[in-house]
Amino acid sequence: KAGVTQTPRYLIKTRGQQVTLSCSPISGHRSVSWYQQTPGQGLQFLFEYFSETQRNKGNFPGRFSGRQFSNSRSEMNVSTLELGDSALYLCASSLGGTGNTIYFGEGSWLTVV
């Protein structure tokens, strides 16, 4: 059974640009969530999608957005990139019910220069 797949793994962008990251969840999982990891702030929840609807949202500016498709694949977008957006972006999937185990992908390393 394939795990959570994230693409691209590594990318470098310039300030002001935008970026789109992709996540394919484990087959059968309907919940996809995104996290940002930085040395200063640690692991922070961005948002969660379940059956194409945003169900939870963290405390990030509107430049961070996401969506989920009917096949449960998800994308997150960051517009008008800032240096502080440099981070490891982790995607996770689960069945989506209360108390389900959550599985993470390998992450996408974003560097903003």
Partner 1 sequence: GIQVEQSPPDLILQEGANSTLRCNFSDSVNNLQWFHQNPWGQLINLFYIPSGTKQNGRLSATTVATERYSLLYISSSQTTDSGVYFCAVDGAGANSKLTFGKGITLSVRP
C-beta of 58 vs 79, nearer to partner 1: 58
Among residues 66, 96, 110, 112, the one that binds partner 1 under rule CB under 8 A = 96
Q: 80 or 97, CB closer to partner 1?
A: 97
Q: Please give the torsion angle defined by the CA atoms of residues 78, 41, 30 and 6, in that order, rounded to the nearest 10 degrees.
A: 60
Q: CA 88 to CA 103: how far, in whole Å?
A: 16
Using CA atoms, how far apart are residues 11 and 28, in angstroms rounded to an integer? 29
Positions in 59-78 near partner 1 (CB under 8 A): none
Residues 74, 25 contacting (CB under 8 angstroms): yes
Binding residues for partner 1, per CB under 8 A?
31, 33, 35, 37, 42-45, 48, 50, 55-56, 58, 88, 90, 92, 94, 96-107, 109
